[in-house]
Every structure is written in C-alpha cells, then in structure tokens.
Structure 1
C-alpha cells in the first residue's frame, strides 16, 4: 500500500487544524493514497487543502471561499493547480461551486477525483476495487462499485459509499480499520443489517 506520510509541523497540535484535517479526511485520504503529501492550511482563516503533486505543482482545494469548519456546509469544490515557484501561474482545474463549470456535481467526490486523476502527475500504478457486503436476516449480497480504479479515485468512492449508507440509508458507522493496517475498511449497522465496505487491490 502506498500512502503519503502525515504532515509534520507545529500546527498538528492545533485543535482547529486537527478538526479540519479529520473533518476533511474524505478528501485528504484519497490524495494521500495517490502518494501526494497533503495538508490543511489554516493561516488567516483561509482554510484550504494543499497537496504537493511532486512535479513542481500543487493542488489547492477550497469551496466557494475558505473551507467551512463543518464539511457538511460545503456546497461544491474549487480546485486550482499552482506552480510552487510562482503561484501567479495557475490553472482552474475543477469548480463545482454553485456558479462553477461543474456545479451539477456539487460536493460529490467521484467526479472531483475523476478530474484529478486525469492529471499528468506522478502517482501509483496499482489499481484498486471498492466493494461491499450486505448481511441481513435473509442472506448475504456482495456488490462491486466499479471497475478497478486509481488509488485516489477508489478511496474517494469508498468515502462516498460510506457517506451514502449513513446519510441516505440510516446506517451507523460502528468500526473502521486503522489506516496503518491496510486499505480502507469499515462496518455499518442498521436494525440487524450489517454492511462492510472495503478497498482491495484488483489482483487480490
């Protein structure tokens, strides 16, 4: 498994940084699984995600303005690709905020990472699959979300599927595998039904 290391700086003990880094894990983790060191900037209230692509450029991810403290308040994603040496040289990569070119996608992760994964930037070549097992009193059903994907796209799909289970289907998130133990894996429960969502290598 390839995943970029966690940030190391003085802000990691800052309660605001910790709140944002955990709250936006569904965006940060896919970027890190692409091998890109990723951090939250909180200077001057301009909360935003910054990912180093390893080729002299970086991604800056925010919303209409700065990222809100509550990720549920995000109405869309704004993504810039900047030249690290000259931030005046930048490209608007994606904009799903209400007035943006991709506004129809709002805060969905899957189209966001489809665009990001199309970048010509260093990233792992392994392919991953997202799947789920639904267990109920009537039996067990297995589902696979899509064909194999890049690590970033697959981990984004894992988070979006997990969010759908909680927000739309009434499940409770009861357990998640620690990051150091392998690819994302989580268990959800609802009235005697258990669903497990996982990310695995396509050749497993």
Structure 2
C-alpha cells in the first residue's frame, strides 16, 4: 500500500475556495502549489485587494509571499520570474528576500523555471526549521466482495495518529479473520503499509492499513 500522500500538506479551508477567480488561479498554479504542499507547506492563493500571489504559512507565524515582477498574472505563462519574500503580519522586522528570479534578481538565470524556485524554498525552510511537522493518520480498512458480488467496505478501527498502534490493531484484525475461518491468500507491505487478501466460501476481502489524513504534530 503506497504512502505517497503521507507528506502532503492539507488544503486551505476558507470561504474563497468556492470563488471562481480563486479556483482559476489555484488550478493555474497547481504545479507550484502541489510542489509546496509536498515539502510539506500549507499554500494558498491570495486575491485580496486585487493582488494575486501564493502565500505559504510557516511555523513561526511568518509567511512567504510568492509573486512575480508585480502580482502573479492569471496566466502562468506570463510569469516574468519568481519573487519570494518572507514577512510577518504582526512583526515588520521580519522581512527578507528568499528567492528572486525576475530580470534584475539574484537568480534571474532561472527565469520562470519552477524547479529552482521550489528547491530554494525547500532549502530555506529546512535550514530555518520553518516547515510544519505532520503526523500521518491511519486506519485499518476492509474492502471486498461477497460470493453474490455485493461490495463490502468498512472501517475496522481508527483513525490512529500512532503507527505502532495502527499496526497492532491491524494484527488483531488478521487474527480475528483467521479465527473465523478466513484463509490468507496474499500478504505484502510488511509493517510499513501491511495488506492481506483473505478468502472464505467464495468471498474475497482485502484488509489493509490506509492513509486517511494528516494532523499537525
């Protein structure tokens, strides 16, 4: 069972997510935002006052403001390099350049290339320890089909914010299936993302440890 989403920061939650302009900008800059969320950083689109930019929340209460020569254009193909500053709404002394690939910037050779932008931000937040630590939420899940082809799907236990507890509960669930006469016909994942397939009288079920979300540490 893959855990490729385990480090993805959550989506922003606010009233603008239903705004057509916000959604248009979010979709337009999705490659940048997804890369930021995978660091993991909580990223958002700022549209207040007609100024468009990407904001990134940091653990000390400060944030990054990602723009271009001025604000971000609606069309990403019109970006003339990236301009990233760290600021703090309540502390004006927090004001520093993180990355500038606009025409007169220190990193102008990179232009609107997204890869060095993300690398610079990733290095910056790692050195300052400003990226949030997230805990993977896991549950024990069972899915399958009955002998008359009806779907089975249920949450066995969870969610858990502790991997050891989740794996332990998964172990209890496998023992219970075995005691009820189910036969294990496939096993994979070890203790990282365990998964087993079981058979009984023509019914097939898959028991696995599932990633169900993230919470802040």
Q: Whole-Å Cα distance in 1 between the matches of residues 118 and 132 of structure 2? A: 13
Match of 1:33 in 2: 38
Q: Whole-Å Cα distance in 2 between the matches of residues 48 and 122 of structure 1? A: 19
Q: Whole-Å Cα distance in 2 between the matches of residues 8 and 123 of structure 1? A: 17
Q: Quick check: 1:55–1:122 contact (8 Å CA) kept in 2?
A: no
Question: Where do 5+ consecutive residues of structure 2 fail to align?
Answer: 1-5, 135-217
Q: Structure 1 segments of 4 or more deviating over 4 A?
A: none
* Match among 89, 114, 118 for residue 119 of structure 2: 114
Q: Whole-Å Cα distance in 2 between the matches of residues 6 and 124 of structure 1? A: 15
Using structure 1 for the length normalisation, give the TM-score.
Answer: 0.57
Matches within 5 A, 1:145-164: none
Report the aligned-residue RMSD. Answer: 1.7
Using structure 2 for the length normalisation, give the TM-score.
Answer: 0.54
Q: Quick check: 1:77–1:94 contact (8 Å CA) kept in 2?
A: yes
Q: Whole-Å Cα distance in 2 between the matches of residues 84 and 53 of structure 1? A: 12
- Displacement, 1:55? 2.5
Match of 1:23 in 2: 28
Instruction: Determine helix, strand or coil for the equivalent of 1:81.
Output: strand
Instruction: Determine helix, strand or coil for the equivalent of 1:91.
Output: strand
- Displacement, 1:88? 4.9
* Match among 86, 94, 105 for residue 89 of structure 1: 94
Instruction: Determine helix, strand or coil for the equivalent of 2:36.
Output: helix
1:60 pairs with 2:69: no
Structure 1 pair 3/87, CA: closer, same or farther in 2 (3 Å)?
A: farther
Structure 1 pair 55/41, CA: closer, same or farther in 2 (3 Å)?
A: same
Instruction: Determine helix, strand or coil for the equivalent of 2:116.
Output: helix
Structure 1 pair 87/23, CA: closer, same or farther in 2 (3 Å)?
A: farther
Instruction: Determine helix, strand or coil for the equivalent of 2:94.
Output: strand
Q: Aligned pairs, how many?
A: 125
* Match among 10, 15, 18 for residue 13 of structure 1: 18
- Displacement, 1:28? 0.8
1:98 pairs with 2:92: no
